[in-house]
Amino acid sequence: MSKKSRKKSSKTPSGSPTAKKKTAKTRASIQTKSAKTERTPARKSAATLAKAGSHKAASKQLKSSKSVSSPAAAKSSLKSGLAEGQKAPAFRLPRDGGDVVTLADYAGQKLVLFFYPRADTPGCTREAIDFTRLADAFAAAGTAVLGISADPLKAQEKFRDKHKLGIPLISDETHGMLEAYGAWGEKSMYGKSFLGILRTTILIGADGKIARIWRNVRVDGHADEVLEAARSL
């Protein structure tokens, strides 16, 4: 055998140091890759768990926000349990012009209370103008009319002057009367829920009891309907 052949053959046996080194490197490489492969899912699963945790936290926040508003909503629903035939809740509130109005002021006569969300908005303006238009007819039927919202007195007076309203406007900024008559509760707009004034009208008889209740009022023709109900009492 030639010297070259002997040199080549001395490098190729599997038991040689060179082969052992290559085998060790190959094994180490395989182990490293497998370790990385094992670690990668662990990282992903940790991220998945973190994300799941954040979803749970968000869910808890959503539930807690609902639970925070639910007592007020529940209170409102209890207040809105006011039914026809019950005694009208007493009230004492300021009105436009600076006077104070109470339920006792209208003892022995019929009284209409129309609750509107906000002064000088389109629907509320039409409603107030309609009741003003029929003010004499209500008076002939022995019925007084009051408009109520949570607007401050200055806003009520500006509303009155701008549209020449002839109906007394009451300011209930603390929502006490609104809640007592079921005109304060949960509303929704653009997918969001909030508490606010529910357009409501109450007709109180001369005996001081609730004769009629209109909830979720539609403005068009409403004042005329209330007038007919007042005349029928």
Out of 82, 111, 119, 124, pick the active-site residue.
Answer: 124
77 phi/psi in degrees, rounded to 5: -70, -30
Nearest to 202 by CA among 176, 177, 221, 173: 177
Q: Which residue has the tokens 């936290």?
A: 57
Which residues fall within 8 angstroms of residue 227, CB to CB, at 6 or more apart? 134, 137, 138, 141, 143
User: H helices of 80-168, where?
Assistant: 122-133, 135-140, 153-163
Distance between terminal CA atoms of the chain? 132
Backbone angles phi, psi at 113, to 5 degrees: -115, 115
| The token pair that represents 193 in the structure block | 């829920």
Residue 60 burial by Cβ neighbours in a 10 Å radius (0-12, 13-18, 19+): exposed
Our answer to whether residue 13 is catalytic in this structure is no
CA-angle at 95, arms to 218 and 134, nearest 5°: 45
CB-based contact 129:165 (threshold 8 Å) = yes
Active site residues: 124
